[in-house]
Structure 1
Amino acid sequence: MDRATGLGKDQQVDKKNMTTSLVADKPLTEAQWLVRFIFLESIAGVPGMVAGMLRHLGSLRRMKRDNGWIESLLEESFNERMHLLTFMKMSEPGWFMKLMILGAQGVFFNGMFLSYLIAPKITHRFVGYLEEEAVHTYTRCLYEIDLGLLPKWSDPNFTIPDIAVQYWRIPEGKRTMKDLIMYIRADEAVHRGVNHTLGNLNQKEDPNPFVSEYKDGEKPNAALRSQGFEREEVI
């Protein structure tokens, strides 16, 4: 992905030392970040759609309810698409990027399709780790904004797209680029927790704990548990 989005060696983080995962010798530009975000989000919307589609078909075949899984998986896919549409309002990718996305989506869709058919628990775990990487990506962007390395986005007068304001219902005074990235990072943290939790459950019998009704009225908060919930905690 670093090569696809045009990062030089001095812009890449030290993968051998995770404590420096936010630090690089040279920051990315706003244009490079948008290319990276668009490529990332064009792929991120695939897993939820694939899993939701396969569970939908399975529910039809078995003539049984899905216990709420389909709803969360399709919502995840829709949410990732909204991330993409938001960034598309800031940058229009060229033909080469569109061609790369077409190829990557085709490979990733078929890979996820086969993977979810064979080992859905492992697939959810894999997606959880992908979402963790997305959280790290947006955290690095926030870090560079805070340091003033992205002057256009650090400007409090920078206007984020209206589609973002409407979708997240962002209040007045909280519509900076930093606020937008924080909203998106929070979404990725939720997807991370949801997928790790679903990977811990019985794939055919257990209900989705994030749409279930609880006697005490408190649902598990996926964003606060990066490793997800164990089955015994939510079932």
Structure 2
Amino acid sequence: MAYLASPKLVHYIVGYLQEEALNSYIEFWNDLEKGNVENVPAPAIAIDYWQLPPESTLQDVIIIIRADEVHHRDLNHSTSDIQCQGHELREYPAPVGYH
């Protein structure tokens, strides 16, 4: 419903939610670095989904998820910026690296 009323607002909100998720993953990564959380082998589902090497660890998973969160944050903010400038999304090509 909110998207129908204001897509640009929803994209901004989602961008900020992604920013908070990013901060959470950074805190988790810091705990891994400090040894507060054991850097166990990555779960098989994460290795399959992210196409990671078999010897990957939890830290490797967190690093790739953080990068994905950054991508989502940037995409939502740029989408909202395009709409705030009064343009239609179809007028712009998908950003480089967008899947």
What does residue 14 of structure 2 align with? 127
What does residue 216 of structure 1 align with? none
Q: 1:49-68 alignment to 2 at 5 Å?
A: none
Of structures 1 and 2, the larger Rg is shown by 1
Q: TM-score, normalised by structure 1?
A: 0.37
Output the amino acid matched with 2:89.
D
Rounded to whole Å, the distance in 1 between the matches of 2:82 and 2:24 is 28
Deviation at 1:166, TM superposition (A): 1.1
Rounded to whole Å, the distance in 2 between the matches of 1:143 and 1:189 is 17
1:210 is aligned to 2:97:
no
Rounded to whole Å, the distance in 2 between the matches of 1:134 and 1:159 is 22
Q: 1:67-216 alignment to 2 at 5 Å?
A: 114-150=1-37, 153-154=38-39, 158-173=40-55, 175-202=56-83, 205-207=88-90, 208-210=92-94
Rounded to whole Å, the distance in 2 between the matches of 1:193 and 1:162 is 29
Rounded to whole Å, the distance in 2 between the matches of 1:126 and 1:186 is 19
Q: Which has the higher helix share?
A: 2
Question: Matched residue pairs, number?
Answer: 95
Q: SS of the counterpart of 1:201?
A: helix
Structure 2's unaligned 5+ residue stretches are none
Rounded to whole Å, the distance in 1 between the matches of 2:17 and 2:52 is 26
Structure 1's unaligned 5+ residue stretches are 1-113, 212-218, 223-235
Output the amino acid matched with 1:163.
I
Which aligned runs of 4 or more in structure 1 are off by greater than 3 angstroms?
Answer: none
* Native 8 Å contact 2:26 2:66 kept in 1: yes
Deviation at 1:204, TM superposition (A): 7.1
Q: Which has the higher relative contact order, 1 or 2, with Cα contacts under 8 A spaced 6 or more apart?
A: 2
- Percent of aligned positions that are identical: 36
